[in-house]
Structure 1
Amino acid sequence: MTPQEAFRDQAVSCEGLGSPLTARLCRLCADRLERGQVADAVLGWDGDASSRGDSVPLRLMGALHALVLTGADRALADAYGAAAALSDDHLWRVLAEALERHQDHVLHWLHSAPQTNEVRRSAALIAAGHWLTARFGLPLVLSELGASAGLNLLWDRWRLDGPAGVLGPVDGPVVLKPDWRGAVPVCAPPQVVDRAGVDLNPLDPVADRLRLLSYVWADQADRLERTRAALDVAARDRPPVQRGDAVDWLAERLALPVPGRLHLVAHTIAWQYFPAAAQARGEALLAEYGARATPEAPLARLGMEADGSGQPGAALTLDLWPSGQRITLGRVDFHGRWIDWQAPPP
């Protein structure tokens, strides 16, 4: 896929996920980006520019959004706010001028892969955490793979408004209201006694606040508000996220005995990006420690990942040990806008 094709493909995804402005900007870049150092860097990208590789379109969109969030480019911020009333020619002229004025900033932003750390995915983690507590009645130890800044490591702090009322603290600083379909989730408040995560490039909720916010699409004010609220909590509580290889880290984490605890390993839109060899190592590792699990110290693995089924959203699956059981919990929108909850009674 060429960089231009990557921008057009990303535009389709942005439209499907409710960001017409980002979709339009991606199409303008696909059609008109051709001169300057930024264009040279993007169009000559060495690697897979698509969302299945380096996500170059979202790197560029993040760089531009950062200029808007900081007020570094007033003309660009004004154009974003009035984009619906502007012609493509007008919008592109402002965009091209911003890329030229701030080329050093943009080139720097292009070096880092986007990390949205979408906090709405916590809705699925909350529902699963209550289900597991109802099933096992044990405190939870959390291990998250691909944790970024650790916002979803704090899922037990957020409030989920579901079809049967509130799950989580009623005064939670982040409120999640997905469109709920399917079964009503069980209410069994979990107790998290330990949490940790790993990421190849963990982001700091204070030092990297702008970068995390910049990858939220500019016309989605509700996502920005939730991310800011979650970052405020993470800046205070500092969820521990270690830099490293996910499978190596998980091996060390699983080797720690947790008697009387349920160890929950979770990954949301992360496993699918692991190299095939890493996935195979991870599966073997989970099977190995799953074989050692006991009813007094069970192991669970919660995955929210694309499965290539052609169905909307991501598959939500739960593996349990020592039973070796795989349970389909349903499907969830990639940004957590809806959940189709199909979990059996715990």
Structure 2
Amino acid sequence: MTFKDALRHQARSCTGLGSPFMGRLMTLFADRLRPETAIANRLFNWQGDLSPSGQSVPLRLAGALHATALQGGPLRDVYPPHTVSDDALWSAVKETLIRDEAQLDRWLDSPPQTNEVRRSAVLIAAGRWLADRYGLPLVLSELGASAGLNLFWDRYALDVGGQIFGDPVATVRLAPDWQGPTPATSQPQVADRRGIDLNPLDPNQPADALRLRAYLWPDQPERRALTDAAIALATPSVDRGDVASWLEQRLSQTRKGHVHLIYHTIAWQYFPQESQKRATRAIESAGQKATADEPLAWFGMESDGTPGSAGLTLRLWPGDLVFKMGRAGFHGQHVEWTPPD
């Protein structure tokens, strides 16, 4: 896939995810960008998988540009809520590619870190399902946790057709388009929570908070509001390091009387292949030692090649049971919940 192919693919995806501005911006890049600047040259010569299922290069670029707009750069007056012509938007983009070259170059080095709070809707449902099945408190281990906002899903409220699951006065309320049965009524109790990320973000630090907000699309203010509410609630609990090494150490600890829930949401694809293999071996090895009073659960919300949504999978030990739990929009905007009876 060429860079321009990746841009057009991303344009269709963004439009389908309810961001016409991002669809327009990505299309403008595909139509008008030429290798005339250092940043453009880097993008056209990028090696590897540029697509959303790989290195997500178009989203790296979009986040880098949005950061300059949030800081008051030339894009500030042409990004939403402003409405301008394609020519005016592109003129500001070209100016930014030159004016902020050093900052854009640094941002392109790292994959997106959206920390999309709406993905917690499926974590709430999965956590309640586990609480209902086992009746035990949970230990949470999130892989690719970014700022750790989705480590606090048990403090958020899920609205399913007017029925509230969680604290009815929670400051973070998620209301996806829900299909399927409602979540279990059991309220999970979380005894411990930690995450791991190669580049963890501290939402209380201005530079890290900027990064979190930059990957939220400019014409979707509701996502910004949810993120701001989650930042106000969260206390960072994310370690820096490789997921496999961290997970091997965390799984070595005894969790008697608890369900250890390992999970990741649109993160697995960004882990190096060797880390994926080591993490899988660590989980499966720990699963072989799981008991009825120390069960292990592995939940993933990850792209599986189906356009527009991610698959929800759950593996449980003892027994190595595998369940398809449904599907969800990549941003958690819709959920098709199909847990087993």
TM-score past 0.5 threshold = yes
Matched residue type, 1:25: L
- Give the 5 Å matches for 1:299-318: 299-308=296-305, 310=306, 312-318=308-314
RMSD: 1.7
Structure 2 partner of 1:80:
79
What is the Cα deviation at residue 154 of structure 1?
0.8
1:115/1:212 contact within 8 Å kept: yes
- Give the 5 Å matches for 1:126-205: 126-163=124-161, 165-205=163-203
Deviates more, 1:225-234 or 1:153-162: 225-234
Structure 2 partner of 1:243:
240
- The 3-state SS of whatever aligns with 1:80 is coil
Give the total of aligned pairs. 338
**Cα pair distance change 1:285/1:231, threshold 3 Å:** same
Structure 2 partner of 1:231:
231
- Write the distance in 2 (CA, Å) between the matches of 1:110 and 1:307: 25
Structure 2 partner of 1:114:
112
Q: TM-score, normalised by structure 1?
A: 0.92
- The 3-state SS of whatever aligns with 1:39 is helix
User: Does 2:55 match 1:57?
Assistant: no
- Out of 253, 259, 264, the residue aligned to residue 256 of structure 1 is 253
Structure 2 partner of 1:294:
291
Matched residue type, 1:103: E
2:13/2:308 contact within 8 Å kept: no
- Write the distance in 2 (CA, Å) between the matches of 1:271 and 1:255: 21
Could you list the per-position Cα deviations for residues 33-60 of structure 1 after superposition, in whole angstroms to 9, with x for gaps in the alignment? Answer: 2222222222232443332333221122
- Write the distance in 1 (CA, Å) between the matches of 2:271 and 2:325: 22
- Structure 2 unaligned regions, length at least 5: none
1:140/1:193 contact within 8 Å kept: yes
1:329/1:344 contact within 8 Å kept: yes
What is the Cα deviation at residue 82 of structure 1?
6.1
Matched residue type, 2:138: L
Could you list the per-position Cα deviations for residues 295-316 of structure 1 after superposition, in whole angstroms to 9, with x for gaps in the alignment? Answer: 11111111111223x3651111
Structure 1 partner of 2:323:
327
What is the Cα deviation at residue 83 of structure 1?
5.9
1:11/1:22 contact within 8 Å kept: yes
What is the Cα deviation at residue 110 of structure 1?
1.9
Deviates more, 1:274-283 or 1:288-297: 274-283
User: Does 2:25 match 1:25?
Assistant: yes
User: Does 2:123 match 1:125?
Assistant: yes
- Write the distance in 2 (CA, Å) between the matches of 1:275 and 1:46: 16
2:53/2:269 contact within 8 Å kept: no
- Structure 1 unaligned regions, length at least 5: none
Could you list the per-position Cα deviations for residues 199-247 of structure 1 after superposition, in whole angstroms to 9, with x for gaps in the alignment? Answer: 122122122000110011111111111111112222xx22x21111111
Matched residue type, 2:213: L
- Write the distance in 1 (CA, Å) between the matches of 2:4 and 2:251: 43
1:8/1:30 contact within 8 Å kept: yes
- Write the distance in 1 (CA, Å) between the matches of 2:162 and 2:22: 35
Could you list the per-position Cα deviations for residues 104-146 of structure 1 after superposition, in whole angstroms to 9, with x for gaps in the alignment? Answer: 3222322222110111000000011111111110010001111
Q: TM-score, normalised by structure 2?
A: 0.94
Structure 1 partner of 2:70:
69
Structure 2 partner of 1:36:
37
- Write the distance in 1 (CA, Å) between the matches of 2:29 and 2:85: 15
User: Does 2:272 match 1:271?
Assistant: no
